[in-house]
Amino acid sequence: MSDSQNAPLIVGIDGSETALGAARWAGALSARTHARVDLVNAVPGDSWYSPLLDEYAMAGDKTLHDQVRELGDAKLEDAARAVREVSPDSEITTTTCTGAFADHIKSHSEGAQMVVIGARVSLRETLGGQVMPIIRAAKCPVLAWREPTADDDAHANRVVVGSDESENADRALLAALNHAHLFGGRVTVAYFQQVSTLIGSAYATTAIDWDRLRRNEAQRLKASIADTCAKFPDVEVEVVYDENAAGRGLNELSRSAGLVVVGSRGRGAVKGMLLGSVSQSLVHHAHCPVLVVP
């Protein structure tokens, strides 16, 4: 087991059902890597409180500051129980940080295995709206969790990873293979390129054998990742090449996957589509959890 797999998992807790799902996901990973699970709840700094807010706080003699702290402690206890549901033996710590969770991550994520956070946004799920600032602040991969729509084990154990043949995409591939290895899954490596946008009206010509082009590109990509895949001989790997926008293509694949893995940045529109905008689209709209690898 690598040192990175022993590194702690930092989980953002805001009291939502999505955050509890993120805690359970971290617990399942901890059960396989024996990583410590650090549960973190963020509360406002002192400047947020005022006599006016205290006047309208509905808890008798308790100040709003005390109420928020007590609610945060209860959220952390709920999250710890959620982790123990799937990993009774995991080491768990709970922390209340003051200020934005992204600021905490910026200071504490170096050396962490992963940051795990709920991705859905609602009035109650305060961290869901901070996913992109957290990803930008983190010095490790970030998992944006949401309930997968895949309804059978075969699809739930499928890991989809986007590739544009950049170094960042190579790290994403390693993360996807490692996850599949730990959970007994399989990996789909997806490469998307909008050829028609590059050559314009020539796309309609019959002078190019498009089927042959797709087959050759898939074979070339498979050869380029062979050495990396060989490090995980127990993991089944398939390669998908299609002419589509990466965000749209990966989002569609996420319907039948348990996890999508992408790099946080890529080569650009000509060679690949894994730009920050694609990562941002996926963490908000994918149909399963999304792991963003820096």
pLDDT at 242: 82
> What is the third-level CATH fold of 3-145?
Rossmann fold (3.40.50)
For the stretch 208-256, pLDDT in tens is 677 787 788 888 888 999 999 999 999 999 999 887 888 899 999 999 9
Domain regions of the chain by residue span:
3-145, 153-293
Is the CATH code 3.40.50.1950 the one for domain 153-293?
no
Encoding tokens for residue 207?
Answer: 């002078």
- Would you say 117 and 134 are in contact if contact means Cβ atoms under 8 Å apart? yes
pLDDT at 256: 94
For the stretch 75-116, pLDDT in tens is 999 999 999 999 999 999 999 999 899 999 999 999 999 999
- Would you say 14 and 76 are in contact if contact means Cβ atoms under 8 Å apart? no
pLDDT at 220: 87
pLDDT at 44 over 50: yes
pLDDT at 279: 82
DSSP assignment of 54-114 equals HHH--STT--HHHHHHHHHHHHHHHHHHHHHHH-TT--EEEEEEES-HHHHHHHH-TT-SE
Instruction: Measure CA 219 to chain center.
Output: 28
For the stretch 120-163, pLDDT in tens is 644 344 555 688 899 999 999 999 999 998 877 778 899 999 98
pLDDT at 266 over 60: no
Encoding tokens for residue 241?
Answer: 């090449």
Q: CA angle 185-188-191, nearest 5°? A: 160
Confidence of residue 1 (pLDDT cuts 50, 70, 90): very low
Confidence of residue 202 (pLDDT cuts 50, 70, 90): low
- Would you say 260 and 291 are in contact if contact means Cβ atoms under 8 Å apart? yes
The model's pTM is 0.86
pLDDT at 208: 67
Common-topology check for domains 3-145 and 153-293: yes
Torsions phi, psi for 205 (to 5 deg): -70, 155
Closest CA to 171 of 246, 259, 239, 263: 263
pLDDT at 162: 92
